[in-house]
């Protein structure tokens, strides 16, 4: 299923190398780090894994659901980072005073998912907080076909380092799918998948991890239905192309 859980992280060389680079970058004296790519390329997964790994050794706050209101944003961080108890609005000046009094070492990290939803005004506050070295920010952004996210006005001069995630190659997608199945103890099913199956899945999903998760879930739901209602049609030698196509239609990756 398409859920974000760091325990479901699948080791693929290119992604793992990128993750190690991200971990190393976080340790540098940088104030804002950008992780960007198209939806479904694994940004949220890497951010959640980073949270799970770093929180063992330092103060890390994960904000996976964007907080759009500026006063709410400051209050949530002040409460979770510094124990600020009040529900009243908090000013930026007082927020920075709380951070100075806390004097955490190393500098606490805030992980912001879906940062393209934040306003320019709120991004300016985030910049001021990072400039004061009160907090370090790692943010994720969607990249679209017609827009380079780094060129957005409120990110242009604020990012100290950026890492772009890409869709998987067919070879990477094969490793991803098979490792997920093996993690779920689905050894026989993993052996059913051949290179032609992977070619079809990669074609329908364009190597997108999220779409691959959805397609595989629909595919195995179809097989479960067939097992119950038409067991004679189920073959365990290989995944049938027509069933992969049916799953792609069901998930609206292609049209009937």
| 1 in any annotated domain | no
The pLDDT score that the predictor gives to residue 85 is 84
Higher pLDDT among residues 87 and 194, named by residue: 194
| 255 in any annotated domain | no
Looking at the fold, whether 151 and 187 belong to one and the same domain comes out as: no
Looking at the fold, whether 47 and 159 belong to one and the same domain comes out as: yes
| 12 in any annotated domain | yes
Looking at the fold, whether 16 and 33 belong to one and the same domain comes out as: yes
| 235 in any annotated domain | yes
Closest to 215 in 3D by CA, of 203, 230, 232, 226: 203
The pLDDT score that the predictor gives to residue 159 is 66
pLDDT at 153 over 90: no
The pLDDT score that the predictor gives to residue 154 is 58
Looking at the fold, whether 142 and 49 belong to one and the same domain comes out as: yes
Phi, psi values for residue 10, rounded to 5°: -110, 125
Q: Which one of 165, 187, 215 terminates a domain?
A: 165
The pLDDT score that the predictor gives to residue 136 is 93
pLDDT at 149 over 90: no
pLDDT at 209 over 80: yes
Q: Which one of 109, 137, 165 terminates a domain?
A: 165
**In CATH, what number is assigned to the domain containing residue 124?**
3.40.50.300
| 198 in any annotated domain | yes
Looking at the fold, whether 91 and 155 belong to one and the same domain comes out as: yes
Q: Which one of 143, 165, 187 terminates a domain?
A: 165
Looking at the fold, whether 15 and 113 belong to one and the same domain comes out as: yes
Looking at the fold, whether 145 and 193 belong to one and the same domain comes out as: no
Q: Positive or negative CA dihedral for 231, 240, 198, 145? A: negative
Looking at the fold, whether 100 and 144 belong to one and the same domain comes out as: yes
DSSP calls for 207-238: T-HHHHHHHHHHHHHHHHHHHHH-GGG--SSS
Looking at the fold, whether 124 and 195 belong to one and the same domain comes out as: no
| 236 in any annotated domain | yes
| 256 in any annotated domain | no
pLDDT in tens, 34-79: 888 888 999 999 999 999 999 988 999 999 999 988 889 999 999 9
Q: State which residues form the domain around 114.
A: 6-165
pLDDT at 126 over 60: yes
Higher pLDDT among residues 155 and 182, named by residue: 182
Looking at the fold, whether 57 and 76 belong to one and the same domain comes out as: yes
Domain total of the chain:
2
pLDDT in tens, 73-114: 999 999 999 998 877 778 999 999 999 999 999 999 999 999
Phi-psi category of 190—alpha, beta or left, where left has phi over 0 and alpha has psi -120 to 50?
alpha
| 19 in any annotated domain | yes
Looking at the fold, whether 26 and 122 belong to one and the same domain comes out as: yes
Looking at the fold, whether 92 and 108 belong to one and the same domain comes out as: yes
């Amino acid at each position: 299923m398409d859920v974000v859980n760091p325990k479901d992280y699948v080791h693929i060389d290119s992604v793992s190398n990128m993750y190690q680079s991200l971990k190393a970058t976080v340790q540098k004296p940088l104030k804002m780090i950008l992780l960007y790519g198209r939806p479904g390329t694994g940004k949220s997964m890497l951010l959640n894994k980073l949270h799970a790994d770093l929180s063992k050794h330092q103060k890390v706050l994960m904000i996976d659901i964007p907080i759009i209101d500026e006063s709410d944003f400051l209050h949530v961080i002040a409460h979770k980072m510094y124990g600020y108890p009040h529900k009243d609005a908090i000013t930026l000046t007082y927020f920075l005073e709380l951070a100075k009094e806390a004097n955490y070492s190393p500098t606490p990290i805030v992980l912001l998912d879906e940062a393209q939803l934040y306003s320019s005004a709120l991004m300016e506050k985030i910049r001021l907080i990072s400039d004061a070295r009160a907090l370090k920010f790692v943010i994720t952004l969607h990249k679209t076909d017609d827009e380079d996210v780094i060129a957005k006005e409120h990110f242009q001069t604020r990012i100290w380092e950026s890492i772009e995630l890409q869709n998987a190659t067919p070879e990477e997608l094969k490793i991803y799918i098979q490792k997920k199945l093996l993690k779920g103890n689905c050894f026989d099913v993993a052996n059913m998948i051949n290179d032609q199956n992977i070619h079809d899945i990669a074609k329908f999903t364009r190597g997108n991890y999220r779409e691959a998760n959805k397609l595989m879930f629909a595919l195995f739901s179809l097989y479960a239905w067939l097992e119950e209602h038409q067991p004679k049609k189920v073959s365990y030698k290989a995944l049938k192309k027509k069933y992969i196509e049916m799953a792609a239609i069901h998930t609206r990756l292609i049209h009937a």
